[in-house]
Amino acid sequence: MQSITLLGATGSIGESTLDVIARHPYKYSVFALTGNKQLSKLALQCQQHGAQFAVVNDAAAASELRALLHGTDCKTEVLHGLEALCQVASAVQVDTVMAAIVGAAGLVPTMAAVKTGKKILLANKESLVMAGGLFMRAVKASGSLLLPIDSEHNAIFQCLPANYEQADTSGVSKLLLSASGGPFRGWSAQQMAEVTPDQACAHPNWSMGRKISVDSASLMNKGLELIEACWLFDVSPKQIDVVVHPQSVIHSLVQYTDGSVLAQLGNPDMRTPIAHGLAWPERIESGVADLNLFDVARLDFEQPDLESFPCLQLAFDAAAAAGDAPAILNAANEVAVQAFLDKRIGFSQIAQVVDNTLSGLDFSEPDSLDGVQDSDQKARYHSANYITEIEY
């Protein structure tokens, strides 16, 4: 029986994870569930999955959750705060941690799980973008098993040899990172200037949380994923090509020096990579429908349009600059996406905020989590100030 802590249980990845877990009650048990705002959903999840602990952000939310559970036969103990998040991510009873908090908030609890040698199912790409070097060193030091849940990285992982350590020694020449192109594929920057948050969040193939949906629409998501892939697979940005593939059936590919290209295909449903991560190296049923290639009928591929989607170029540049440039990119993007969702800035201004923040700050090479948090904070401060200058 694998005992699991699910960080970010109430989100899109969290719900999909609980759906897969519930299909295999003799293989997986829930130790802890965490959530931020959707307390009724979290209360229901605690009852349905018999969580021993639930963690929310503050004391008020904890009282509210306790009140929701009062009078039910649910025995879940409710905790709150960052320290409690780290405790349930690192508790001795826990085998596996699904890291599915969105954004920079996921970094510290995910690192707590890494440092205690848990099996990590990594959906929170932002923690690798912010602190990839520290994160990967901690994985090595603790002997954590790190399995990628992001569909592209999970696909690449599946296409690499089982004993993969480095591209050169495995005959890998390139990683080909799939991108759907998002809802605005083929649009000019001018056409995108007026789009609303709801339009940006209406992804053609995937159903996801709002932040990653906006990132997918701006192609910042692909930029973050490029940085994520560099750390996960120990490659340089030059060894990765982004391939726009609008059907989202090929989730990514690995090109080998002998001319072979291996791909992983499937319906666009996150339960496949989640089930893969949970059961690896075995396979379990995930609830995802079989892929029908006759329904798919055709697979198209395009070059990404860096002019209309400047966020992808900014991420390439931050990856090349290294140091804390990716952490600054990530923080500025989070602030800008929130401002866009709050209708304070337009969609095209997300790139403008990130660009202004990257060019307004000096880069450094943080050697601790505190150092990374400092870079994150100064980028948030800079972006927030800039937004007050440019908002409607």
91/201 with CB nearer ligand NAD: 201
158/356 with CB nearer ligand NAD: 158
151/349 with CB nearer Mg ion: 151
Where would I find the beta strands (DSSP E) of 164-317? 172-179, 240-244, 250-256, 261-265
Identify what 126 binds: Mg ion, ligand NAD, none; CB under 5 to 8 Å per kind.
ligand NAD
Shortest separation between residue 90's beta carbon and Mg ion, angstroms:
26
Residues 6+ apart with CB under 8 A from 112: 85, 86, 87, 89, 90
* Site mask for Mg ion (CB under 5 A), range 143-182, x = bound: -------xxx------------------------------
How far is residue 341's CA from residue 344's CA, in Å, rounded to a whole number? 8
Burial code (b: 16+ CB inside 10 Å, e: under 16) for 157-189 equals bbbbeeebeebeeeebebbbbbbbbbbbbebee
Identify what 10 binds: ligand NAD, Mg ion, none; CB under 5 to 8 Å per kind.
ligand NAD
8/223 with CB nearer ligand NAD: 8
**SS3 readout for 286-300:** CCCCCCCHHHHCCCC
63/166 with CB nearer ligand NAD: 63
Shortest separation between residue 228's beta carbon and ligand NAD, angstroms:
9
338/356 with CB nearer ligand NAD: 338
Closest CB to Mg ion: residue number:
150
Shortest separation between residue 152's beta carbon and Mg ion, angstroms:
5
Shortest separation between residue 191's beta carbon and ligand NAD, angstroms:
25
What's the Cα-to-Cα distance from 57 to each of 5, 223, 322, rounded to whole Å?
Answer: 16, 29, 32
Query: Which stretches of the chain bind ligand NAD, using CB under 6 A?
Result: 8-14, 35-37, 57, 100-102, 105, 123-126, 150, 206, 208-209, 211-212, 270
What's the Cα-to-Cα distance from 313 to each of 133, 307, 387, rounded to whole Å?
Answer: 22, 8, 21
3-state secondary structure of 51: coil
Cβ 208 vs Cβ 180: under 8 Å: no
Q: Which amino acid is at 78?
A: V
Identify what 105 binds: ligand NAD, Mg ion, none; CB under 5 to 8 Å per kind.
ligand NAD
Query: Which stretches of the chain bind Mg ion, using CB under 5 A?
Result: 150-152
